[in-house]
Amino acid sequence: MALDTSWYTEEWAGQGAAISLKIRDKVHDEQSTYQRIEIYETETFGTLMTLDGLVMVTDRDNFVYHEMMSHPALFTHPDPRRVLVIGGGDCGTLHEVLKHPTVELAEQVELDERVTRASEKFFPELCESNNDRRARLHFADGIQWVADAPPGTYDVIIVDSTDPVGPAAGLFSETFYQNCFRALRPRGIVVGQSESPLFHADLIRSMQRSLKAAGFGEAATLFFPQCTYPSGWWSATMGGKNITLANFRNSDTAAGMFATRYYNQPIHAAALASPEFLRHPEK
């Protein structure tokens, strides 16, 4: 299907703004049980996957998001061995998690198996580690998975979800965080993608409040650019169970245990700095 000279556009609901990417071709279009999965070849951002018309991943900029969803939490934990990824069906987060030599088990619980199958075909580099002996791919409801997990199962839980609407809404609730708290071992960390600081500051504030109400002693938000997501500015919010989120294994990150393209020790420290309007909720 040749669509030369066309543009893909995601309009940012209620913001009077949008992102457009020039596309060469549409290479996949499928309605799964849960959502519409579309894949395009773009002119300058490589392959693009959208779910229900919203940008999920492009070849060109996904490294920033996937590294920031994984490495800050994993380098804050003193010894992350068992990691759960909820959502993350493109497997990019799983790929970053498996770079950590301490990790013994990385389970991914994605609702829609079709997202992972499409990703295996169109984003092979994100799926490179799917056959790692430490990786387990499950296709199930992540909310139920965490509710059913025995207490103290995981060291780190990463919530790589879609926007907080539809099936993903429950992944931003206090009940879900209570279940995460229970499913984490002492010193455990939960981190979830928390949308745009510019467009969704209230969501970030409410996530921090819900994490604390669910028992997490500390909540901290990481800020980073993500040029193809709404506003181009994104965040991830962590909750720590008896652990200080401001400290991390500096020496390990600085030593460059493995290759990254965005994350490093100064980026980690800088990403924890909050803008004024989020430090003072009234602004």
Among 48, 54, 74, 111, binds ligand AG3 (CB under 6 A): 54
Catalytic residue, candidates 90, 112, 160, 163:
160
Query: Which C-beta is closer to ligand AG3: that of 197 or that of 230?
Result: 230
| Residue 114 C-beta-side C-alpha neighbours within 13 Å | 15
Among 72, 92, 188, 192, binds ligand AG3 (CB under 6 A): 92
Helix residue spans in the chain (DSSP H): 62-76, 92-97, 113-122, 142-148, 174-183, 201-213, 250-254, 265-271, 276-279
Q: Does position 70 bind ligand AG3 by CB under 6 A?
A: no
Active-site residue flag, 4: no
Q: Does position 160 bind ligand AG3 by CB under 6 A?
A: yes
Q: Does position 163 bind ligand AG3 by CB under 6 A?
A: yes
Q: Does position 162 bind ligand AG3 by CB under 6 A?
A: yes
Separation of alpha carbons 156 and 184, rounded Å: 7
Separation of alpha carbons 248 and 257, rounded Å: 14
Question: 238 is written with which tokens?
Answer: 């962590």
Among 216, 224, 229, 248, binds ligand AG3 (CB under 6 A): 229
Straight-line distance from the first to the last Cα atom of the chain, in angstroms, rounded to the nearest whole number: 49
Residues with catalytic function: 160
Binding site for ligand AG3 (CB under 6 A): 10, 54-57, 88, 90, 92-93, 160, 162-163, 193, 229-230
